[in-house]
Protein backbone atom coordinates (compact mmCIF):
# COMPACT_ATOMS: atom_id res chain seq x y z
CA UNK A 1 0.00 0.00 0.00
CA UNK A 2 1.32 3.43 -0.93
CA UNK A 3 0.27 6.73 0.52
CA UNK A 4 1.39 10.22 -0.38
CA UNK A 5 0.50 13.86 -0.13
CA UNK A 6 0.72 16.50 -2.82
CA UNK A 7 2.84 19.58 -3.00
CA UNK A 8 2.55 21.97 -5.97
CA UNK A 9 0.57 19.41 -7.98
CA UNK A 10 3.08 16.61 -7.50
CA UNK A 11 3.16 13.59 -5.22
CA UNK A 12 5.37 14.21 -2.25
CA UNK A 13 6.62 11.85 0.45
CA UNK A 14 5.35 8.73 -1.31
CA UNK A 15 5.40 6.14 1.44
CA UNK A 16 5.02 2.38 1.24
CA UNK A 17 3.19 0.94 4.21
CA UNK A 18 3.83 -2.74 4.66
CA UNK A 19 0.92 -5.16 4.91
CA UNK A 20 0.30 -6.43 7.54
CA UNK A 21 0.75 -3.35 9.63
CA UNK A 22 3.06 -3.49 12.66
CA UNK A 23 1.44 -4.45 15.96
CA UNK A 24 1.57 -0.87 17.28
CA UNK A 25 -0.57 0.40 14.37
CA UNK A 26 -4.09 -1.05 14.25
CA UNK A 27 -4.81 0.92 11.04
CA UNK A 28 -3.16 3.11 8.39
CA UNK A 29 -4.27 6.35 10.04
CA UNK A 30 -2.51 5.38 13.27
CA UNK A 31 0.62 4.44 11.32
CA UNK A 32 0.62 7.81 9.48
CA UNK A 33 -0.02 9.72 12.74
CA UNK A 34 3.02 8.04 14.29
CA UNK A 35 5.38 8.52 11.32
CA UNK A 36 4.14 11.94 10.10
CA UNK A 37 2.62 13.51 13.22
CA UNK A 38 2.06 17.01 11.79
CA UNK A 39 1.00 16.13 8.25
CA UNK A 40 -0.70 12.73 8.51
CA UNK A 41 -4.13 14.12 7.59
CA UNK A 42 -2.79 15.22 4.18
CA UNK A 43 -1.94 11.65 3.07
CA UNK A 44 -4.12 9.58 0.74
CA UNK A 45 -3.80 6.24 -1.04
CA UNK A 46 -2.02 6.21 -4.40
CA UNK A 47 -1.36 3.39 -6.90
CA UNK A 48 1.67 1.26 -6.06
CA UNK A 49 3.54 2.21 -9.24
CA UNK A 50 3.73 5.92 -8.37
CA UNK A 51 6.86 7.64 -7.11
CA UNK A 52 7.65 11.00 -5.54
CA UNK A 53 7.43 13.76 -8.10
CA UNK A 54 4.58 12.17 -10.08
CA UNK A 55 2.23 14.78 -11.54
CA UNK A 56 -1.39 14.81 -10.37
CA UNK A 57 -3.51 14.55 -13.54
CA UNK A 58 -6.60 15.75 -11.63
CA UNK A 59 -8.60 12.62 -12.39
CA UNK A 60 -7.19 10.30 -9.74
CA UNK A 61 -4.28 9.25 -11.91
CA UNK A 62 -0.66 10.34 -11.76
CA UNK A 63 2.16 10.55 -14.28
CA UNK A 64 5.55 9.50 -12.96
CA UNK A 65 8.46 11.76 -13.90
CA UNK A 66 10.53 10.72 -16.87
CA UNK A 67 14.19 10.55 -16.06
CA UNK A 68 16.43 11.95 -18.77
CA UNK A 69 18.64 9.50 -20.58
CA UNK A 70 22.16 9.99 -19.26
CA UNK A 71 24.56 11.27 -21.90
CA UNK A 72 27.00 8.86 -23.45
CA UNK A 73 30.41 10.02 -22.35
CA UNK A 74 33.34 9.65 -24.69
CA UNK A 75 35.67 6.84 -23.76
CA UNK A 76 38.77 7.89 -21.92
CA UNK A 77 41.92 7.23 -23.88
CA UNK A 78 43.78 4.19 -22.68
CA UNK A 79 46.90 5.14 -20.77
CA UNK A 80 49.33 2.27 -20.48
CA UNK A 81 51.94 1.60 -17.86
CA UNK A 82 55.47 1.17 -19.18
CA UNK A 83 55.20 -2.63 -18.94
CA UNK A 84 51.78 -2.65 -20.63
CA UNK A 85 53.20 -0.45 -23.40
CA UNK A 86 56.06 -2.88 -23.86
CA UNK A 87 53.63 -5.83 -23.93
CA UNK A 88 51.44 -4.17 -26.58
CA UNK A 89 54.47 -3.19 -28.66
CA UNK A 90 56.11 -6.63 -28.46
CA UNK A 91 52.84 -8.30 -29.46
CA UNK A 92 52.37 -5.89 -32.38
CA UNK A 93 55.94 -6.54 -33.53
CA UNK A 94 55.39 -10.29 -33.86
CA UNK A 95 55.01 -11.49 -30.29
CA UNK A 96 57.22 -13.83 -28.30
CA UNK A 97 60.94 -13.77 -28.88
CA UNK A 98 60.54 -12.03 -32.24
CA UNK A 99 58.62 -9.11 -30.73
CA UNK A 100 60.97 -8.84 -27.74
CA UNK A 101 64.03 -8.84 -29.99
CA UNK A 102 62.62 -6.16 -32.29
CA UNK A 103 61.53 -4.04 -29.30
CA UNK A 104 65.08 -4.29 -27.89
CA UNK A 105 66.56 -3.28 -31.26
CA UNK A 106 64.36 -0.18 -31.38
CA UNK A 107 65.22 0.84 -27.79
CA UNK A 108 68.96 0.29 -28.43
CA UNK A 109 68.80 2.29 -31.66
CA UNK A 110 67.05 5.13 -29.86
CA UNK A 111 69.50 5.28 -26.95
CA UNK A 112 72.61 5.06 -29.13
CA UNK A 113 71.42 7.43 -31.84
CA UNK A 114 73.61 10.40 -32.79
CA UNK A 115 70.43 12.30 -33.73
CA UNK A 116 69.63 14.83 -30.99
CA UNK A 117 65.87 14.59 -31.54
CA UNK A 118 65.90 10.79 -31.25
CA UNK A 119 68.16 11.03 -28.19
CA UNK A 120 65.72 13.49 -26.56
CA UNK A 121 62.71 11.20 -27.06
CA UNK A 122 64.83 8.26 -25.88
CA UNK A 123 65.51 10.05 -22.58
CA UNK A 124 61.82 10.89 -22.26
CA UNK A 125 60.94 7.23 -22.95
CA UNK A 126 63.39 6.09 -20.26
CA UNK A 127 61.72 8.31 -17.63
CA UNK A 128 58.10 7.64 -18.62
CA UNK A 129 55.89 5.67 -16.29
CA UNK A 130 52.79 5.88 -18.50
CA UNK A 131 52.15 6.11 -22.23
CA UNK A 132 49.31 7.83 -24.07
CA UNK A 133 48.41 6.78 -27.60
CA UNK A 134 48.83 10.28 -29.09
CA UNK A 135 52.33 10.67 -27.67
CA UNK A 136 53.33 7.16 -28.74
CA UNK A 137 52.03 7.96 -32.22
CA UNK A 138 54.25 11.06 -32.34
CA UNK A 139 57.23 9.05 -31.04
CA UNK A 140 56.77 6.30 -33.62
CA UNK A 141 56.26 8.83 -36.43
CA UNK A 142 59.60 10.43 -35.53
CA UNK A 143 61.28 7.01 -35.42
CA UNK A 144 59.82 6.17 -38.85
CA UNK A 145 61.18 9.45 -40.25
CA UNK A 146 64.62 8.61 -38.83
CA UNK A 147 64.59 5.05 -40.25
CA UNK A 148 64.53 3.32 -36.84
CA UNK A 149 60.96 1.96 -37.12
CA UNK A 150 59.12 0.89 -40.26
CA UNK A 151 55.75 2.49 -41.09
CA UNK A 152 54.09 -0.94 -40.93
CA UNK A 153 55.45 -1.42 -37.38
CA UNK A 154 54.08 1.98 -36.35
CA UNK A 155 50.66 1.05 -37.76
CA UNK A 156 50.73 -2.35 -36.02
CA UNK A 157 51.53 -0.83 -32.60
CA UNK A 158 48.81 1.82 -32.91
CA UNK A 159 46.28 -0.77 -34.13
CA UNK A 160 47.05 -2.96 -31.10
CA UNK A 161 46.49 -0.07 -28.65
CA UNK A 162 43.60 -0.92 -26.34
CA UNK A 163 40.55 1.33 -26.36
Tens of pLDDT, residue by residue over 114-163, are: 999 999 999 999 999 999 999 999 999 999 999 999 999 999 999 999 87
Residue 68 covered by a domain = no
Q: Return the higher-pLDDT residue of 96 and 1.
A: 96
Per residue in 16-36, pLDDT tens? 988 888 889 899 999 999 889
Number of domain units in the chain: 2
30 with 99, same domain: the answer is: no
Residue 37 covered by a domain = yes
52 with 95, same domain: the answer is: no
Residue 129 covered by a domain = yes
pLDDT band at residue 105, thresholds of 50, 70 and 90? very high
How many Å apart are CA 50 and CA 31, to the nearest integer?
A: 20
Other beta carbons less than 10 A from residue 138's beta carbon? 12
99 with 144, same domain: the answer is: yes
88 with 130, same domain: the answer is: yes
Residue 121 covered by a domain = yes
Residue 33 covered by a domain = yes
Average pLDDT over residues 32-56: 90
Residue-number span of the structural domain to which 116 is assigned: 79-160
95 with 148, same domain: the answer is: yes
**What pLDDT was estimated at residue 77?**
74
CB 5 within 8 A of CB 19: no
CA triplet 76, 78, 82: central angle to 5 degrees? 150
**What pLDDT was estimated at residue 106?**
96
Given a cut of 80, whether residue 75 has pLDDT beyond it is no
38 with 94, same domain: the answer is: no
For residue 92, give every residue at least 6 positions away whose Cβ sits within 8 Å of its Cβ, in sequence order, or none.
Answer: 99, 153, 156, 157, 159, 160
Given a cut of 80, whether residue 80 has pLDDT beyond it is yes
Average pLDDT over residues 94-107: 95
Residue 126 covered by a domain = yes
Residue 17 covered by a domain = yes
Amino acid sequence: MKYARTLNGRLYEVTTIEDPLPSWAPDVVTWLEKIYPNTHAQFFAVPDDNVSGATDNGDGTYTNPTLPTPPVLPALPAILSSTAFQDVTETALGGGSTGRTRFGEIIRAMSSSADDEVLAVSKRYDKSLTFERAKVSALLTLLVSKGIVQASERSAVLAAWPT
